[in-house]
Amino acid sequence: IMSQGNQTAIVTEFFIVGFPGLQPLYYDLMATTFFIIYVTIVAGNILLIVLFVKQHSLQKPMYITMVSLALSDIGFCTVALPKIIARYWFNAGAISVHVCLFQRLLIHYFGTLSSVILLIMALDRYMAICFPLRYSTLMTNRVMGLLHGLAWVTSMVSPSITTIMSSQMSFCGPNQIVNCFCDSMSVSSLACGNVSMQVNLSTSLAMFVLLLPFSLIMLSYVHIITAVLRIDSKEGYLKTFSTCITHVCIIGVYYIPRFFVYLTPYLPIKINTDMRIGLILIYSLLPPLVNPIIYSFRTKEIREIFHTWFQRRNAVSPKFKIMTISK
């Protein structure tokens, strides 16, 4: 939809295209896939949150970080997926410019927030391994709660700046968002006139909020690895190493696909638009999807809770069967 001015037409509504090369025959399949992914992500992360609330043994600094990341993952998927699901199921891809800008704000907010939460996770492991005697006094639940509260507030700064700049752009040409959601590059590419300054600032801020936490995470893990190698006890070495592997898996799932997408323009590999969108979805949706699985299989306390739950269930089942037969 465009409103006619004296000389130009001003776009007031965008249309979420999704995958431009996808045939209409597969729209229902794509919508169903996105819906299943969304339900799985929400259910898995809500389960982690419920475990944290119900199990007193999990109410520790490390699990506060897990809950914060779970909430961030739920928030991101709730912002990103419903519209593309509606687009493929009901052809409801139209989105007003203002709503698109709001989605853009939240997409980049939750992306920034996840990066900061991973930094807090690395800081927690650094304190636990490098300063084990002081860890319980330095990293209390209150301190961890304050850190995450600060993360949730400050992560809004960079996306707010770039979204305000985007809101000042004029849109008078094509109105198709060639992506599954509104993000910085998709919106900027539809702007009229020269927006190179806004694009460069957005890119610089995006790289800053990505690379600064990543650099600090890598620095902390250099110290962690050094401390682990100094452990004399083989049992202590393996236990500490196992804990680190959990966090490295989560960090790797978040950062590696992102760096690959960011570096593809500078590599001899050429990828088409559909593949680029697919890679964006991988680095956006894979971490929220696999994080609960990583926690469940790699965290001893959560494994023990599930083991106890299954034991109780198996103990109740035979009694139920005996009562049923006797009747």
Q: Could you read off the pLDDT of 130-182 as tens digits, one per residue?
A: 898 899 999 999 999 999 999 999 999 999 999 999 998 988 878 999 999 99
123 burial via Cβ count (<10 Å: 0-12, 13-18, 19+) = middle
Extended beta strands in 132-255, E state: 176-177
Evaluate whether 30 touches 88 at the Cβ level (below 8 Å): yes
Long-range contact pairs involving 167-171 (C-beta distance under 8 Å, separation at least 24): 167/101, 169/193, 169/195, 169/198, 170/8, 170/10, 171/10, 171/11, 171/14, 171/97
- Tell me the C-alpha distance between 312 and 269, whole Å: 54
- Tell me the C-alpha distance between 119 and 250, whole Å: 11
CA dihedral sign of residues 134, 151, 41, 39? positive
Structure confidence by residue, pLDDT tens digits, 35-84: 999 999 999 999 989 988 888 878 888 889 999 999 999 999 999 999 99
pLDDT at position 9, please? Answer: 64
Kindly state the average pLDDT of the residues 82-97. Answer: 96
**Helix (H/G/I), strand (E/B), else coil: 95:** strand
- Tell me the C-alpha distance between 199 and 195, whole Å: 6
- Tell me the C-alpha distance between 230 and 217, whole Å: 20
Q: Which CATH architecture has domain 12-317?
A: Up-down Bundle (1.20)
pLDDT at position 51, please? Answer: 87
Here the tokens at position 281 are 């979805």
Kindly state the average pLDDT of the residues 93-104. Answer: 96
Evaluate whether 91 touches 172 at the Cβ level (below 8 Å): no
Evaluate whether 148 touches 64 at the Cβ level (below 8 Å): yes
In this predicted structure, the answer to whether residue 22 has a pLDDT above a threshold of 70 is yes
Long-range contact pairs involving 234-241 (C-beta distance under 8 Å, separation at least 24): 240/129
**Helix (H/G/I), strand (E/B), else coil: 57:** helix
Percentage with pLDDT > 90 across the chain: 48
pLDDT at position 6, please? Answer: 45
The angle at the Cα of 81, spanning 80 to 83, to the nearest 5 degrees, equals: 90
Kindly state the average pLDDT of the residues 259-268. Answer: 76
Residue type, 250: I
DSSP letter at 270 equals -
Percentage with pLDDT > 70 across the chain: 90
pLDDT at position 52, please? Answer: 87
In this predicted structure, the answer to whether residue 324 has a pLDDT above a threshold of 60 is no
Q: Output 269 or 54, whichever has higher pLDDT.
A: 54
Residue-averaged pLDDT of the chain: 86
* Phi–psi pair at 16, nearest 5 degrees: -75, 115
CA dihedral sign of residues 31, 37, 41, 47? positive
Here the tokens at position 97 are 């410019």
